[in-house]
């Protein structure tokens, strides 16, 4: 009896794990809590505007910076304390939500990382998969 009642739950977990085989997201939400991005891997389409909702549930500020390795190299040693001028570089104040819209011209995997001191080392990084649709 117990086994039967758990079956639908197990099925739902499998569906979540394979992302339901759906389209890449054009309006994804990335949540930040305990200095961690959720989801840590996200698939979006190339050549189409993608509006990211960035929700910071922590009582401290974080950054969401997405780009190629050279972009991250710059930000690892950068001194800009606040980002609000490029759609791919966003500072999210404590306990707040921001939106940013980006159209990715080239498919590939791009890291998104918080470059505030110590946050990347703590694990505050994710992967954005930009895919052909």
Residues forming the site for Cu ion (CB under 5 A)? 62, 114, 116, 119, 124
Q: Parallel, antiparallel, or unpaired: how do β-strands 125-131 and 108-113 relate?
A: antiparallel
Supply the minimum distance, in Å, between the C-beta of residue 35 and Cu ion.
5
Supply the minimum distance, in Å, between the C-beta of residue 93 and Cu ion.
12
Nearer to Cu ion, 47 or 118 (CB): 118
Supply the minimum distance, in Å, between the C-beta of residue 55 and Cu ion.
13
**Would you say the C-alpha torsion 100, 93, 127, 88 has a positive or negative sign?**
positive
Nearer to Cu ion, 60 or 133 (CB): 60
Nearer to Cu ion, 24 or 126 (CB): 126
Name every residue whose Cβ is closer than 8 Å to that of residue 87 and which is 6 or more positions away in sequence. Answer: 100, 101, 102
Supply the minimum distance, in Å, between the C-beta of residue 43 and Cu ion.
23
Residue least distant from Cu ion (Cβ): 114
Phi, psi of 107 (to 5 degrees): -70, 160
Residues across the chain:
133
Q: Where does residue 98 rank: exposed (0-12), middle (13-18), buried (19+ CB within 10 A)?
A: middle
Nearer to Cu ion, 102 or 120 (CB): 120
């Amino acid at each position: 009896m117990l086994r039967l009642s758990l079956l639908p739950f197990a099925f739902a977990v499998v569906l979540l794990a394979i992302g339901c085989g759906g389209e890449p997201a054009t309006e994804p939400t990335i949540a930040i809590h305990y200095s961690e991005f959720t989801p840590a891997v996200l698939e979006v389409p190339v050549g189409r505007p993608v509006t990211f909702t960035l929700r910071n549930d922590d009582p401290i500020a974080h950054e969401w910076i997405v780009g190629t390795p050279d972009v991250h190299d710059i930000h690892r040693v950068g001194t800009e304390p606040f980002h609000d001028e490029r759609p791919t570089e966003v500072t999210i104040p404590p306990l707040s939500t921001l939106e940013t819209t980006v159209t990715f011209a080239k498919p590939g995997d791009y890291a998104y990382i918080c470059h505030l001191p110590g946050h990347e080392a703590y694990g505050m990084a994710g992967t954005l998969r930009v895919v052909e649709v």
